[in-house]
A and B are shown apart, each in its own frame.
Chain A
Amino acid sequence: MIALAIIVMVLPLAPALAAALTPRARPLGAVAAASGAATLGVAIALAVDASRGRGVHALSGFLYLDSLSGFFVVTIALVVALASFGSGAYLRSEEERGELSPRQVRLYFIFFALFASMMLASFQTGNLGLLWVLIEASTLASCVLVGLEAKAVSLEAAWKYIIISSFGVTMALVGTLFLYYAASSLAGSPTEHLTWSYLFAHAGALSHQSLRLAFLLVLIGYGTKVGLAPMHTWLPDAHSEAPSPASAMLSAALLNTGMYAIIRFQALTGPAIGTRFAAHALLIFGFASVVVGTLFMVLRGNFKRMFAYSSIEQMGIIAIALGFGGTLGLYGALLQILTHAIAKAVLFLTSGDIVLRYRTRLIDEVRGVLSVTPLTGAALLLAALAVAGSPPFGLFLSELTIVRAGLARSSVVLVAALLVMLAVVFIALVGAAAAMALGGAPDRPTAGPAYGERSSRALAATPLLAGLAALLVLGIWIPGRLDTLIMHSIHAIT
């Protein structure tokens, strides 16, 4: 199992090595797609192992894997696989049009690979200090992707992203230091004072004052990465300016990495200071995010920004679910993390196809996607429905679970407010997607087919079809293995 854990971190680096040999998007895309698919395979094997209750604890906790890690590894590996296929097609198209230089193509694949590898590694360390280092490293790698096009706007977005999230993550480091300080009265070695499994076993003995401060700082710090309001301001810019497959990785994978760190810290607070403190903090930030995300989604401007605000809203829902807590709340949160990751990856990948085809990011300038490119149009509509939480897709099930968790906790007002927000989101998101997908032929000529060759089209279509199929399956039936994995994950943190 240790071997699998290491392979899953190293495999995604293949495109970076290949980029040292060639700057051409075609072979690099093929390598990325192959390594993405292989990573997913290994991740599934790892998660199956984890769902059987097996884990890894090696190198004095620096390498650590339990069911929760397994769940996140498989979720993120899925997004990486979808985005790798999308990257192959997108970069090839951009290269053919001369939008990206060979150097930029090379940089893209190098940093895409580093980004994926760092994220997958961050779930597999039990050391909270190393977790910080890896999350910051994945942020840095993703910054390069945001600024890749080197236009004034994308550099501006990248600058905003790097400076705000570096600041936020520094706060998380301070929180980690406070946690370390809170553990200073425990018997273990200094390294154990940062090792999650040791801390979790001794959580009751942590110093309360420092632990409270540590959790708040970590929530603000990693919350900046997750895009919780009011620390979300970098998110819409970065997610809309990055190349679309990178946006998919940011929205569907990176945000969840931050959420993972928050979940780990939340688990530590329970035994020491009770669950109420962390729950209240999460409910406040979560609800603020849902409100901010929903309000900005009503504006109809740039569709990639709209999808980014939808991510803020979704992360808010997940934070609320974590705040509700209990088995039901955690189950809903984890299921929502998985289903949202798939749906959002598909949505951003379709947005990439649309940007390539229409050369605009404005909702009002895109019409008739369904008649111009039927597959992209259908994927856009279905993915928007899925993200909006409509049955029969997976998010319906997870949101239903979260609402039930809220009712079980008798927070009727909060649940009612959440449902109103969800209704507004549904109207805004599905309305915009319908306006883009349906409608007559566009007023102005489109920029020609998004992908020239048949093989590019196949590469672009694969993740859309695979993602939608997975969402549909998760909406109807949760595989027994996945259910066990989620239940074990909940057990690992409560």
Chain B
Amino acid sequence: MAQPLAVVESLSATSAEGVLLDTSAVVILLCAFACLGSKLFDRYVVYYGIQSIVLSFAAAVVAVHEREAGLWVLAALTFIIKGIGIPYGTRHFLIERFALKRDVALSTGLSSSLIFGAFLTAFAFLVIRPGTVPHALVAQAVVPISTAVILLGGLCMVVRRHTIAQLIGWLIIENGVFLGAIAIVATFPFIVEAGVFLDLVAAVLIMIAFVSGLARQVAEAAAPELRQLSE
């Protein structure tokens, strides 16, 4: 096992930063659950926005601790683009434009998907044992929580068939990856992080274009109707 990174060791759960990071992670997890438990398109977007804003706060906490200029920029970018830009864009270009209200394309009921989500969270905590991540981890909770957020995002994509819900599910997964990344590998080269961000923005723009194209064609862009290509 590698030596734990300095950042990880020093951000113990008792330090102020450790507590803040842990708390942010919990709020991020709750936002993922809130998305999973909602049926309204408006809400998905709002919860995703809140989750991203909390994530930018978490990035700022690590930035303070690490004194990394790159992380500050990432925190600001997360706030502006993920917290405000993407939710606004999705709402403006998709939800309002096509007057989408209630997501009906669910393969699993809300309560059962929430229960399943709880199982996934427990699973994440079980698998990520203290042995697999650095000891004296931060914020004991950050790594298992970021794993849980990734799994919950995946669950969103699986139980929802509407293209917008799948888009939000993927974005939640992204947030989970980002949370894990800032917690474990805070010194990740900035230029790469910036590139990842750029890709994310490009992906969301293209996805919005596709969803609106589909929505125009199939009055309601529910994936069950996307059955023409099957073999």
Q: Of the candidates A137, A156, A170, which one forms a contact with B226 in the assembled complex, judged by CB atoms under 8 Å apart? A: A156
CB neighbours (8 Å) of A130 from chain B are 191-192, 195
CB neighbours (8 Å) of A150 from chain B are 213
Partner-contacting stretch, out of A140-148, A447-455, A463-471: A140-148
Contact assessment for B2 and A210 in the assembled complex, using a CB-CB cutoff below 8 Å: yes
Contact assessment for A152 and B218 in the assembled complex, using a CB-CB cutoff below 8 Å: yes
In the complex, A177 Cα to B163 Cα: how many Å? Answer: 28
CB neighbours (8 Å) of A129 from chain B are 188-189, 192-193, 195-196
CB neighbours (8 Å) of A147 from chain B are 210, 213
Contact assessment for A140 and B226 in the assembled complex, using a CB-CB cutoff below 8 Å: no
Contact assessment for A162 and B191 in the assembled complex, using a CB-CB cutoff below 8 Å: no
Contact assessment for B211 and A62 in the assembled complex, using a CB-CB cutoff below 8 Å: no
In the complex, A158 Cα to B211 Cα: how many Å? Answer: 10
CB neighbours (8 Å) of A62 from chain B are 191
CB neighbours (8 Å) of A166 from chain B are 170, 203
In the complex, A434 Cα to B220 Cα: how many Å? Answer: 42
Contact assessment for B195 and A180 in the assembled complex, using a CB-CB cutoff below 8 Å: no
User: Nearest residue in B to A159 (C-beta to C-beta)?
Assistant: B210
User: Nearest residue in A to B146 (C-beta to C-beta)?
Assistant: A174
Asked whether A163 and B196 contact (CB < 8 A) given A147-B210, A190-B187, the answer is no
Q: Of the candidates B154, B181, B196, which one forms a contact with A133 in the assembled complex, judged by CB atoms under 8 Å apart? A: B196
Contact assessment for A155 and B1 in the assembled complex, using a CB-CB cutoff below 8 Å: no
Minimum Cβ distance to chain A for residue B140 (Å): 17
Q: Does A194 interact with chain B (Cβ within 8 Å)? A: yes
Bitwise interface map of B from 186 to 218 toward A, beta carbon under 8 Å scored 1, else 0: 011101110110110011001100110110011
Q: Between A and B, how many residue pairs show CB distances below 8 Å?
A: 125
Partner-contacting stretch, out of B12-20, B86-94, B115-123, B172-180: B172-180
Q: Does A136 interact with chain B (Cβ within 8 Å)? A: yes
In the complex, A431 Cα to B163 Cα: how many Å? Answer: 39
Minimum Cβ distance to chain A for residue B174 (Å): 6
User: Nearest residue in A to B188 (C-beta to C-beta)?
Assistant: A180
CB neighbours (8 Å) of A184 from chain B are 2-3, 5, 185
Asked whether A157 and B229 contact (CB < 8 A) given A150-B213, A194-B192, A207-B2, the answer is yes
Interface band, chain A: 35 or more
In the complex, A133 Cα to B195 Cα: how many Å? Answer: 6
Contact assessment for B170 and A137 in the assembled complex, using a CB-CB cutoff below 8 Å: no
Q: Is the interface of A mostly helix, strand, loop or mixed?
A: helix
Contact assessment for B170 and A170 in the assembled complex, using a CB-CB cutoff below 8 Å: yes
Contact assessment for B214 and A180 in the assembled complex, using a CB-CB cutoff below 8 Å: no
In the complex, A173 Cα to B180 Cα: how many Å? Answer: 11
CB neighbours (8 Å) of B112 from chain A are none
User: Nearest residue in A to B205 (C-beta to C-beta)?
Assistant: A140
In the complex, A356 Cα to B61 Cα: how many Å? Answer: 58
CB neighbours (8 Å) of A132 from chain B are 192, 195-196
Q: Of the candidates A140, A152, A157, which one forms a contact with B203 in the assembled complex, judged by CB atoms under 8 Å apart? A: A140
Q: Does A420 interact with chain B (Cβ within 8 Å)? A: no
In the complex, A155 Cα to B221 Cα: how many Å? Answer: 11
User: Nearest residue in A to B212 (C-beta to C-beta)?
Assistant: A155
Contact assessment for B217 and A152 in the assembled complex, using a CB-CB cutoff below 8 Å: yes
CB neighbours (8 Å) of A153 from chain B are 228-229
CB neighbours (8 Å) of A241 from chain B are 229
6 pairs across A/B with beta carbons < 8 Å? A143-B206, A155-B217, A170-B170, A177-B184, A184-B3, A301-B231
In addition to A162-B207, A185-B2, 19 A-B residue pairs with Cβ atoms within 8 Å of each other are A127-B192, A129-B189, A129-B192, A132-B195, A140-B199, A140-B206, A143-B206, A147-B213, A151-B217, A153-B229, A155-B214, A159-B211, A159-B226, A162-B206, A181-B5, A184-B185, A236-B231, A296-B231, A299-B231
Residue positions of A touching B, CB distance < 8 A: 62, 127, 129-130, 132-133, 136-137, 140, 143-144, 147, 150-153, 155-160, 162-163, 166-167, 170, 173-174, 177, 180-185, 190-191, 194, 207, 209-210, 236-237, 241, 296, 299, 301, 305
Residue positions of B touching A, CB distance < 8 A: 1-3, 5, 132, 150, 154, 157, 163, 166-167, 170, 173-174, 177, 180-181, 184-185, 187-189, 191-193, 195-196, 198-199, 202-203, 206-207, 210-211, 213-214, 217-218, 226, 228-229, 231
Closest 3 CB pairs of A and B: A129-B192, A133-B195, A207-B2
